[in-house]
Amino acid sequence: MLIQNTTNSFIDTLRHRRQRLANLIDFPAIIWSGGSSPRNFPANRFPLRASSHFLYFAGLPLSNVAIRLEAGKLELFMDDPQPSSALWHGEMPTRDEIAQKMGADGARPMAELELWLEGTATIAVQESATWTQQSQLLNRWVLPQSPPQGIDLELAKAITSLRLTHDDAALAELRKAAAVTVAAHKAGMAATPKAKLEAEVRAAMESVFIAQNMTTSYNSIVTVHGEVLHNEHYHHSLQPGDLLLADVGAETETGWAADVTRTWPVSGKFSSTQREIYNVVLAAHDACIAKIYPGVEYEDIHLLAATVIAEGLIDLGILQGNAEDLVQMDAHALFFPHGIGHLLGLDVHDMEDLGDLAGYEEGRERSDRFGLGYLRLNRPLRPGMLVTIEPGYYQVPAILNDPKLRSKYQNVVNWQRLSQFADVRGIRIEDDVLVTTEGSEVLTAALPNDANTIENLSKI
Amino acid sequence: MLIQNTTNSFIDTLRHRRQRLANLIDFPAIIWSGGSSPRNFPANRFPLRASSHFLYFAGLPLSNVAIRLEAGKLELFMDDPQPSSALWHGEMPTRDEIAQKMGADGARPMAELELWLEGTATIAVQESATWTQQSQLLNRWVLPQSPPQGIDLELAKAITSLRLTHDDAALAELRKAAAVTVAAHKAGMAATPKAKLEAEVRAAMESVFIAQNMTTSYNSIVTVHGEVLHNEHYHHSLQPGDLLLADVGAETETGWAADVTRTWPVSGKFSSTQREIYNVVLAAHDACIAKIYPGVEYEDIHLLAATVIAEGLIDLGILQGNAEDLVQMDAHALFFPHGIGHLLGLDVHDMEDLGDLAGYEEGRERSDRFGLGYLRLNRPLRPGMLVTIEPGYYQVPAILNDPKLRSKYQNVVNWQRLSQFADVRGIRIEDDVLVTTEGSEVLTAALPNDANTIENLSKI
């Protein structure tokens, strides 16, 4: 990867991004790449994940370098590889070669960076050795968990405004991530009939990424306990009556992500209760995507999902009352407790390193409503935004057995009827949807989501 | 994993290890587990890898807890899961449940740890949030990259003396890691005929680990450029004349590692030059294993490998002279520049977080000889030690084109003859060998290493 050949159009894209940044700020910025983190001893490290902001402007997954951006120009700060490293790592590209690949306007050794700090803004890198270095060099705390201040905040706002919508080069990478993710989900469905453990299905899916020199963009969820929303265990055995929920997405070598969920029956056949709920979730999914259009508020998409799910559960006799009223009182959140989705780009929750700066329109804040508080995106949609649409239905014991919630919602839930749906612990259907001037394009549309096709794909 | 059931014998093992530590030190020790490191944003994290020292005494891969060891007793410091975490992570075991699983003698909230610090030793965790916390609480620098001092050094020496040889429970885990690694290598060989890229073979191998809920114990090397010793790229296409070198090992859920290398022909058939060199490396491998016996110096095993390789290269006409003389002048290191192996246990280079404290017998230091400096283990062998034996032959451009080395060794290398072996860029054969009272046991013996069987396994 490090030594990939780059093209003129790649360099033009990077220069265009840098120029757009220059149009928004009148001070220099230094963006560090970050380095890898040690695992159990210094020489045994987690794979490098360069900072997304660095990748956006520099394009290459480099370790321990920095770029200084001013007036559209990029200066690379990087040390040439040690001669002794050739034994262990082979011939590495030099600073000048790297500078050329990213279309830099200059290149200097890392030690010179300290001469170029005055008046520069930065963004904290997650990896601790680097944010410590950022803090020391700039003589102020640059902490990944603290909101940026002053010119750092101005820089963060400028970068989020750029990264909110994707250019053609970004979309090309995002389409690659989506395509490989679609293949992985098909592989997971195909592997299910012979699999005894969740882990075996996960292996079939992630090996598709590894074979393409991609990685997961987040820790995969592959579970028969979809009601545990962030389930990162894979030890359960697969039983014929189970639904398997797989939330698995690829990340390309330059950091662009996909994020897709499908839920399929282990036996290759949904039970009638599973199919009924599945179709409620799918109806919400389809209604949301149909509504995506420039100018539409993402919060309204979320509320639409909530309403369609409430309607479906009323039809099934699980909820009682009027759908709008139920959503108003957050009754949908008993079964759909998370947000309808989020921004997607270089990060699977794009730019979440900056808190809600990217996700929430200026002046807006998270709601404290049970049914809205987990919404990660609250902005009007614009062409070029990529969002996930991921409605779900879950029977979360921590919610449904909560005495306060049971009491508050005792008259709107038919608990007797609900008990007939005990074999539906968790369903989610998630696609990656690009906002276009005409409405939307589903980047992951090649992966079927209707119940019959899903059944066929997960049969022997 | 977190919620695995533990057995009485597991708890007995842990208690036995704690008692043996108590026999070696007369002060208390606090061992932190460490936590996960953030990847590109705080909620998207690398997988947890608990500290190996913690795993040795506590047995469970826990995040952000500490154990205090004194006189054979273990006190667990851990916070109960937040009630709100049940929504995202499901029901988590409580402090008391965890304490029971590891056979703790007491359990307290994390906040009470500060009352129990006086006179305690510790070992730095690699993960930065934890070593920062260690330093703050103990009011001294506890840094992963600095050698321990004072009672921390005494603790480190005591722990290394325990971890140098493996008990039955450790061996059971190490055998599991070895068995799954053997299966992965067979899967890699079987996948080669249809693979177009190194990455596809890697995928076939690592998916075997994922399917068993294991991980890699280090970043895999799967490459047709074995001459790059730590090659972590997988983008090369496989050509019929290539040798594929795969250095890939599993790590069990509780952290125990395997480390195995095989080299096989992409075409399913070694060329005559490849087979000749392969057999030289295999002869060194077999000679080393035959010599392993309690009391034997590991450095002598290394020098034996060097001598056998030198002899083989003399027979092939690549080196000229007498094998002992060539080894004395480090001529073997032109083609075999690394050490014959290292300790293996909870870390793939076991206890390398403590530098050479575990690898080198007290009073010994690294040699500055070209042919010895990379040796990671220099101790007399003892029953219960697990070591790798991994001789290799490489044509590393950084070595063979180095003017100083070419000049020094110009009369002992037949460069003309060497040029006929251009299709042998890198070969390594590595197994995991347990020192026993009778000699040795190869834990990875189920994986063939003779050239004919390797050819058969990598054919369609």
Query: What average pLDDT score do residues A39-51 get?
Result: 97
B328 CB near a chain A CB, below 8 Å? no
A127 CB near a chain B CB, below 8 Å? yes
Predicted pLDDT at A4 = 61
Query: What average pLDDT score do residues A129-150 get?
Result: 95
Identify from A4, A36, A37, A39 which residue to disrupt to test chain B contact, counting B C-beta atoms within 10 A and taking the largest count: A39
CA–CA dist B144, B195 (Å, integer): 41
B231 CB near a chain A CB, below 8 Å? yes
A139 CB near a chain B CB, below 8 Å? no
Q: How confident is the model at residue B2 (pLDDT cuts 50, 70, 90)?
A: very low
Query: What average pLDDT score do residues B207-220 get?
Result: 98
CA–CA dist A85, A65 (Å, integer): 17
| Contact at CB, B203 and A213, closer than 8 angstroms | no
State the nearest Cα–Cα gap between B437 and chain A, in angstroms. Answer: 30
Predicted pLDDT at B83 = 79
The mean predicted confidence, pLDDT, of chain A is 96
| Contact at CB, A235 and B218, closer than 8 angstroms | no
**Pairing assessment for the beta strands A73-77 and A106-108 based on DSSP bridges:** parallel
Nearest to A392 by CA among A230, A282, A274: A282
Predicted pLDDT at A335 = 98
Spell out which residues of chain B touch residue A145, defining contact as CB-CB under 8 Å: 42
Q: How confident is the model at residue A5 (pLDDT cuts 50, 70, 90)?
A: low
Of A253 and B8, the one with more pLDDT = A253
Walk me through the domains of chain A, giving residue ranges and CATH numbers: 8-163 (3.40.350.10), 168-457 (3.90.230.10)
How far is residue B394 from each of residues A87, B281, B336, measured CA to CA in Å?
10, 10, 6
Spell out which residues of chain B touch residue A203, defining contact as CB-CB under 8 Å: 207-211
Q: How confident is the model at residue A2 (pLDDT cuts 50, 70, 90)?
A: very low
Predicted pLDDT at A117 = 97
Cβ atoms of A266 and A224 closer than 8 Å: yes
Spell out which residues of chain B touch residue A52, defining contact as CB-CB under 8 Å: 40
State the nearest Cα–Cα gap between A53 and chain B, in angstroms. Answer: 10
B414 CB near a chain A CB, below 8 Å? no
Does the pLDDT of residue B1 top 80, yes or no?
A: no
Coarse DSSP helix, strand, coil percentages of chain A, rounded to the nearest 5 percent? 40, 15, 45
Does the pLDDT of residue B312 top 90, yes or no?
A: yes
Cβ atoms of A69 and A21 closer than 8 Å: yes
Nearest to A70 by CA among A168, A155, A160, A12: A155
Does the pLDDT of residue A438 top 50, yes or no?
A: yes
* Proportion of chain B above pLDDT 70, given as a percent: 99
Does the pLDDT of residue B381 top 90, yes or no?
A: yes
Q: How confident is the model at residue B5 (pLDDT cuts 50, 70, 90)?
A: low
The mean predicted confidence, pLDDT, of chain B is 96
Q: How confident is the model at residue A441 (pLDDT cuts 50, 70, 90)?
A: very high
Identity of residue A42? P
Nearest to A263 by CA among A451, A33, A104, A59: A451
> Which segment of A85-89, A117-121, B313-317, B431-435 scores lowest on mean pLDDT?
A85-89
CA–CA dist B255, B55 (Å, integer): 7
| Contact at CB, A349 and B44, closer than 8 angstroms | yes
Predicted pLDDT at A354 = 97
Cβ atoms of B26 and B109 closer than 8 Å: no
Q: List, for residues A356-391, the tens digit of each pLDDT value.
A: 999 999 999 999 998 888 899 999 999 999 999 999
Predicted pLDDT at A230 = 87
B190 CB near a chain A CB, below 8 Å? no
CA–CA dist A284, A306 (Å, integer): 8
B356: Cα separation from own chain's centroid = 14
Sheet holding B439-442, edge to edge: B386-389, B431-436, B439-442
Helical segments of B229-316, H only = 272-291, 298-315
| Contact at CB, B228 and A45, closer than 8 angstroms | no
* Proportion of chain A above pLDDT 90, given as a percent: 93
Nearest to B340 by CA among B261, B269, B263: B261
Does the pLDDT of residue A352 top 80, yes or no?
A: yes
The DSSP symbol for A228 reads S
Identity of the residue in B210, B225, B230 whose CB atom sits nearest the CB atom of A88: B230
The DSSP symbol for A116 reads G
**Minimum CA–CA partner of B2 in chain A:** A233
CA–CA dist B122, B142 (Å, integer): 8
Nearest to A435 by CA among A315, A330, A295, A329: A295
Q: List, for residues A295-350, the tens digit of each pLDDT value.
A: 999 999 999 999 999 999 999 999 999 999 999 999 999 999 999 999 999 999 99
Spell out which residues of chain B touch residue A404, defining contact as CB-CB under 8 Å: none
Query: Which residues, numbered 363 to 402 in chain B, qualify as contacts with chain A under a Cβ-Cβ cut-off of 8 Å?
Result: 396-399
Find the radius of gyration of the CA atoms of chain A.
24
| Contact at CB, B129 and A128, closer than 8 angstroms | yes
Identity of the residue in B38, B209, B337 whose CB atom sits nearest the CB atom of A126: B38
| Contact at CB, B89 and A230, closer than 8 angstroms | yes
Query: What average pLDDT score do residues A424-428 get?
Result: 98
> Which residues, listed in sequence order, are joined to residue B436 by a DSSP beta bridge?
B439
Cβ atoms of B55 and B346 closer than 8 Å: yes
Residue B293 has which token pair?
A: 């016996």
Spell out which residues of chain B touch residue A399, defining contact as CB-CB under 8 Å: 87
B48 CB near a chain A CB, below 8 Å? no
Q: List, for residues B73-86, the tens digit of each pLDDT value.
A: 999 999 998 877 88
A460 CB near a chain B CB, below 8 Å? no
Query: What average pLDDT score do residues A384-407 get?
Result: 96
Could you identify the residue written with the tokens 């020790």?
A: B29
**Pairing assessment for the beta strands A431-436 and A106-108 based on DSSP bridges:** unpaired
Query: Which residues, numbered 70 to 109 in chain B, qualify as contacts with chain A under a Cβ-Cβ cut-off of 8 Å?
Result: 83, 86-91
Predicted pLDDT at A370 = 87
Q: List, for residues B9-43, the tens digit of each pLDDT value.
A: 999 999 999 999 999 999 999 999 999 999 999 99
| Contact at CB, B197 and A211, closer than 8 angstroms | yes
Identity of the residue in A218, A228, A351 whose CB atom sits nearest the CB atom of B89: A228
Spell out which residues of chain A touch residue B247, defining contact as CB-CB under 8 Å: none
Could you identify the residue written with the tokens 């722990």?
A: B159
Spell out which residues of chain A touch residue B216, defining contact as CB-CB under 8 Å: none
Identity of the residue in B41, B86, B87 whose CB atom sits nearest the CB atom of A349: B41
> Which residues, listed in sequence order, are joined to residue B430 by a DSSP beta bridge?
B261
| Contact at CB, B235 and A213, closer than 8 angstroms | yes
Spell out which residues of chain B touch residue A213, defining contact as CB-CB under 8 Å: 197, 199, 234-235
Identity of residue B270? F
| Contact at CB, B230 and A45, closer than 8 angstroms | no
Nearest to B70 by CA among B137, B116, B138: B116
Q: List, for residues A214-272, the tens digit of each pLDDT value.
A: 999 999 999 999 999 888 899 999 999 999 999 999 999 999 999 999 999 999 999 99
Query: What average pLDDT score do residues B380-401 get?
Result: 97
Predicted pLDDT at A460 = 72
State the nearest Cα–Cα gap between A339 and chain B, in angstroms. Answer: 13
B15 CB near a chain A CB, below 8 Å? no
Spell out which residues of chain A touch residue B86, defining contact as CB-CB under 8 Å: 396-398
A210 CB near a chain B CB, below 8 Å? yes
State the nearest Cα–Cα gap between B438 and chain A, in angstroms. Answer: 32
CA–CA dist B275, B424 (Å, integer): 9
B212 CB near a chain A CB, below 8 Å? yes
Q: How confident is the model at residue B4 (pLDDT cuts 50, 70, 90)?
A: low
Identity of the residue in B46, B206, B235 whose CB atom sits nearest the CB atom of A210: B206
Nearest to A127 by CA among B216, B126, B349: B126
CA–CA dist B416, B146 (Å, integer): 47
Q: How confident is the model at residue B283 (pLDDT cuts 50, 70, 90)?
A: very high
Count the neighbouring beta carbons within 10 Å of the beta carbon of residue B268.
Answer: 17
Spell out which residues of chain A touch residue B206, defining contact as CB-CB under 8 Å: 206-207, 210
Q: Kind and range of the H or E element at A377?
A: none
CA–CA dist B39, A196 (Å, integer): 31
Q: List, for residues B429-459, the tens digit of each pLDDT value.
A: 999 999 999 999 999 999 999 999 999 999 8
The DSSP symbol for B74 reads E
* Proportion of chain B above pLDDT 90, given as a percent: 93
Identify from B39, B46, B228, B335 which residue to disrupt to test chain A contact, counting A C-beta atoms within 10 A and taking the largest count: B39
CA–CA dist B438, B444 (Å, integer): 18
| Contact at CB, A42 and B91, closer than 8 angstroms | no
**Minimum CA–CA partner of A35 in chain B:** B39
* Phi–psi pair at B45, nearest 5 degrees: -120, 155
B129 CB near a chain A CB, below 8 Å? yes
Nearest to B372 by CA among B396, B394, B395, B339: B339
| Contact at CB, A349 and B129, closer than 8 angstroms | no
